[in-house]
Amino acid sequence: MNNILTITKRELRGYFSSPVAFVFIVIFLLLSGFFTFMVAGLFQRGEASLQAFFTWHPWLYLFLVPAVGMRMWSEERRLGTIELLLTMPITPWQAIVGKFLASWAVVALALVLTFPVVLTVNYLGSPDNGVILGGYIGSLFMAGAYLAVTAMTSAMTRNQVVSFIVAVVLSLFLILAGFPPVTNMLVSWANPWLVDGIASFSVMTHFESIQKGVLDSRDILYFLSVIGFCLFTTSIIIRTHRAG
């Protein structure tokens, strides 16, 4: 655990010593505010809820989260410091978890800084804050899934742009598998069990359930499974580099 915390602190210093974390946080806050108040029309909806706020998160994360995580391993490979890191008295798994937690902490900080939206809906009405809390938990887990995918793509290449593009494509697949227009199209020709099976692989299906305030263990397990699988794949890729 001490090694993981050491790596996490090292990565956090790296994020905040460069513009990466600040740019991500500012852009996320601006875009989430724009889509919530201007596009979704929170004030015109006549309801005290943050559904209009959380609806945009899968799409905002699609581009912003890979931008945060693309440097996770690509930068180490490009600078040649990955060999130095892997010769330190830490295991690859500790390095992977430490880097992942640092990136996740940056996203968590961005989410925390959206608290004025929560204060706004509480001022305007009497929202179900339990549902709002569920939305934040689901959003954080969804961001973690995107970050784990990005960690995997970042370990594959030393080019951050390539890592970003591949992560966006894979994350887009995780969205579209359960996106209503896609599932509605599949229903017209596929068996219901097949449609449900495809939708079960989507972050949308599980995020929308948590967003409604239902913290189902199956939804949490889904996100943890995606994170675990991608980080495990990352460890295999890193061990391959170490052996090479």
* pLDDT class of 169 with cuts at 50, 70, 90: very high
Tokens of 131: 């549902």
Report d(CA 141, CA 70) in Å as an integer: 18
Domains held by the chain: number: 1
pLDDT tens, 38-51?
887 777 776 777 88
Domain that includes residue 164, residue range: 2-243
Share above pLDDT 90 across residues of the chain, in percent, rounded to a whole number = 40
* pLDDT class of 239 with cuts at 50, 70, 90: confident
Burial 206-230 (b: 16+ CB within 10 A, else e): bbbbbbbbeeeeebeebbeebbeeb
Report d(CA 81, CA 88) in Å as an integer: 11
Whether the CB-CB separation of 94 and 3 falls below 8 Å is answered with yes
pLDDT tens, 87-119?
777 788 888 999 999 999 999 999 999 999 999
Report d(CA 168, CA 174) in Å as an integer: 10
10 Å CB burial of residue 2 (0-12, 13-18, 19+) is: exposed
